[in-house]
Amino acid sequence: MPTNQQRREAAKRKLERQLVRRAERARRRKIVGVGVTVGAVVVIAGLVVYFVTTKDSGTTSPAASASSSPSAAPINIPTQRVPMPKRTTPLPAQVNCDYPATPKEPTAKPAKAPAGANTPATGTVNVTFKSTAGDIPLTLDRALAPCTVNSFVSLIQQGYFTDTSCHRLGTTGLQMLQCGDPSGSGSGGPGYSFKDETFPELKYGRGILAMANAGPDTNGSQFFMVYGDAQLDPNYTVFGSISDAGLQVLDKVARAGDDGSFDPSPGGGKPNMPVKFTAVTVDG
């Protein structure tokens, strides 16, 4: 019969195995990593993410976002948009983009990488995400992130986002809705990646559309829409803005709360009000 000491040691080993498995699951999730102060900043070294847990070597150490309660607790949403960022040095009229395959990463839904040569770096593209919660019109800005816009438009035209659901809502610290993973797990992508298009002046806040990532130069299909506060380092590519009508939809979703399934790190969970994209159109 095992002694009390032996039972304690066995329980300790079991707990250690559980913690290792839990950390590994979190590492594989591709969700927005955040630096947020809510009472205190809790730093989780090696976890990075929209808006976004590491799957790589963990070169950054963002803090975990404080989560909202699974119930629809009242939240404070700012009404003022943040100014759209601008590059201090404009890009040339055309750039070349590279979209290497990512065979070791989960492919949530097969997609063809777009051509990258002579990609336009001026002008805007209007798109509309029609969802079960309401229409979310977006304006994509090629001058901010031409390679990102090129990929995003290609995925829309391939029907990649249609019939997919947004998998993570944050309502405390980082107020955003993260989408773009057809698997709904937070770790899926299109089977290719591309480099960050960031610059030091980037700021995040209400109205900003940005790419989720799992560390430097790991962009794929996941993106996040900021409807409120977002105190983030300039590590996430901003490639457009959200219309006033779209923000009203996001506010409604946010006020319904989330299920807390991504607690304690990186925080938040699946939205209580499901957001499923029934159609996505390129309007011009």
- Per DSSP, the residues of 69-100 read PSS--------SPPPPP--SSPPPSEE-----
According to DSSP, residue 176 is labeled E
Q: Give the separation between CA 136 and CA 260, rounded to whole angstroms.
A: 24
In this predicted structure, what is the pLDDT of residue 104? 82
According to DSSP, residue 207 is labeled T
| CA distances for 133 relative to 77, 111, 139, 166, 202, angstroms | 18, 26, 19, 11, 29
Tell me the backbone φ, ψ of residue 223, rounded to 5 degrees. Answer: -140, 165
In this predicted structure, what is the pLDDT of residue 237? 98
Q: Give the separation between CA 217 and CA 215, rounded to whole angstroms.
A: 6
CATH class of 66-282: mainly beta
In this predicted structure, what is the pLDDT of residue 103? 87
Q: Give the separation between CA 254 and CA 240, rounded to whole angstroms.
A: 20
Under 8 Å between Cβ of 53 and 187: no
In this predicted structure, what is the pLDDT of residue 263? 87
* pLDDT tens by residue, the chain, 284 residues: 545 555 555 555 655 565 555 544 444 455 454 433 333 333 333 333 334 433 332 323 233 333 334 546 689 999 999 999 999 999 999 999 999 999 887 788 989 999 999 999 999 999 999 999 999 999 999 999 999 999 999 999 999 999 999 999 999 989 999 999 999 988 899 999 999 999 999 999 999 999 999 999 999 999 999 999 999 999 999 999 999 999 999 999 999 999 999 988 888 999 999 999 999 999 97
Under 8 Å between Cβ of 196 and 237: yes
Has this prediction a pTM greater than 0.85? Answer: no
In this predicted structure, what is the pLDDT of residue 57? 28
Under 8 Å between Cβ of 214 and 30: yes
Closest listed residue to residue 75, CA positions, set 271, 241, 210, 233: 271
**Structure tokens belonging to residue 67:** 């989560």
Under 8 Å between Cβ of 108 and 226: no
Closest listed residue to residue 93, CA positions, set 129, 118, 67, 128: 118
What is the domain partition of the chain in residue ranges?
Answer: 66-282
**Amino acid letter, 129:** F
In this predicted structure, what is the pLDDT of residue 21? 55
Give the helix/strand (H/E) hosting 249. helix 244-255
Closest listed residue to residue 164, CA positions, set 208, 223, 213: 223
What are residue 127's DSSP bridge partners?
A: 138, 282
pLDDT in tens, 78-127: 999 999 999 999 999 999 999 999 988 778 898 999 999 999 999 999 99
Q: Give the separation between CA 48 and CA 59, rounded to whole angstroms.
A: 8
Alpha-carbon dihedral 116, 118, 124, 125, rounded to 10 degrees: -50
In this predicted structure, what is the pLDDT of residue 210? 98
In this predicted structure, what is the pLDDT of residue 69? 42
CA angle 257, 64, 144 (to 5 degrees): 85
In this predicted structure, what is the pLDDT of residue 19? 53
In this predicted structure, what is the pLDDT of residue 51? 44
Under 8 Å between Cβ of 269 and 263: yes
